[in-house]
Amino acid sequence: MSKKSGHKISRKFAAYPRLNPLGVGKDISAADLIDQVMLAYNGGRLREASQLLAKKMLPRDGFIGMSLTGALTPAGLGKSCLIPLMKGGYVDWIISTGANLYHDLHFGLDMQLHSGSPFLDDVVLHRDGVIRIYDVLFDYNVLLDTDAFVREVIQGPEFQRPMGTDEFHHLLGKYVAARGKKLGLKDSSVLATAYECGIPIFTSSPGDSSIGMNVAAMAMRGSALLPDVNRDVNQTAAIVYHAKSTGHTSSVWILGGGSPKNFMLQTEPQIQEVLGIQEKGHDYFLQVTDARPDTGGLSGATPAEAVSWGKVDPDKLPDSVVCYTDSTIALPLLTAYVLSRVKPRKLKRLYDHRDAILDVVKQKYLQTGTVTKVLTSRKIAKRSSSVGMKT
């Protein structure tokens, strides 16, 4: 090969490092394993996700919103991963399915879950009063006792009014933390940790879990507790606006997809499209999912598609990472990487400032928003009807 042709090849691959890994040693750390060995396919995407977190999402006090779907807490990932991330200041606010928060209560109340098998006879399990979540097993009484705890707590006077789900989870977390203290537990519950760290936790579908089912049952006994979903929509948008308007980045860390993914991403269209406030979209997008993009479902929708909605800043799209793997594989590795590569950050305690954060975006909306069609700097396609036009 001539020097000339060799020079052309080197220029051709100048942006791409040589794929030439070292052998795996017995003492290699998880972070070094990711950096040095996971070089291609979804291993490569996991490396990119880890480095995106450490080098762009977390520095300069960037805001990190995490969404949780899939049965993560019953698999123990609340205790093993989420709590260390929360206490270390690596996650600032959360949107979760209600189910993850419900099953988190089992750990906070020191109930027993067991590693089992996905190949057991479910008819026999039902007869024996055993609940199965794939290969996680627990006694039916775990559900009954958790339900009773929720009902007993929410009959208290502080719960007898409408409230955002962040406030509801904060109050519930207070009681879980108190019970954990009596039981001698430490770092056992995501809800208790969120209460202690001032981390707001929202759920996008309050009625879609056993917590919501118990809230609904107590309504028939005269409870006035009611999830304020309007507050949730505006509060989550206000958190994002607070980040961006104070010169910080806003990043989304999405585990799975579903309703929590959309609830987190819709904060930007809420700011731009509905409230009429100038904005460009989230700065960084990291998703771990097994959902395909070609079926049209939100879980598999790509960050490129999110750009078209204004959910992600188009200028930051090249930094977006989607890793197609199981969250139970990716989350422990991402957690180990971040704890190894990034120093703990000061807690933002966004819950403590929730009213002030919301008031800023409310005042901005009342100044610039409108009931009629919102004016925008984006190019608008020709109207297909006269709906919404002034007459």
- At 339-360, the pLDDT tens digits run 999 999 999 999 999 999 999 9
What pLDDT was estimated at residue 9? 61
Residue 36, Cβ density class (10 Å: 0-12 exposed, 13-18 middle, ≥19 buried): middle
- Token readout for 346 is 């000061």
What pLDDT was estimated at residue 39? 95
pLDDT > 80? residue 384:
no
Average pLDDT over residues 317-330: 96
pLDDT tens, position by position, 52-100: 999 999 999 999 999 999 999 999 999 999 999 999 999 999 999 999 9
pLDDT tens, position by position, 206-221: 999 999 999 999 999 9
Average pLDDT over residues 97-109: 98
Catalytic residue (choose from 79, 174, 261, 311): 311
> What are the helix (H) ranges across 323-376?
327-341, 354-368
Average pLDDT over residues 128-138: 98
Q: Looking at domain 24-368, does it have CATH number 3.40.910.10? A: yes
pLDDT > 50? residue 389:
no
pLDDT > 80? residue 3:
no
Q: Which residue has the tokens 């929730």?
A: 354
Q: How confident is the model at residue 179 (pLDDT cuts 50, 70, 90)?
A: very high
Q: What is the distance between the alpha carbons of residues 255 and 128, in angstroms, rounded to a whole number? A: 33
pLDDT above 70 covers what percent of the chain? 94
C-alpha distances in Å from residue 310, one per residue of 28, 190, 305: 41, 31, 9
311 flagged as catalytic: yes
pLDDT > 90? residue 331:
yes
The closest of 30, 100, 362 to 256, measured between CA atoms, is 100
What pLDDT was estimated at residue 374? 87
pLDDT > 80? residue 248:
yes
C-alpha distances in Å from residue 13, one per residue of 6, 7, 16, 215, 255: 11, 10, 5, 59, 33
What pLDDT was estimated at residue 10? 75
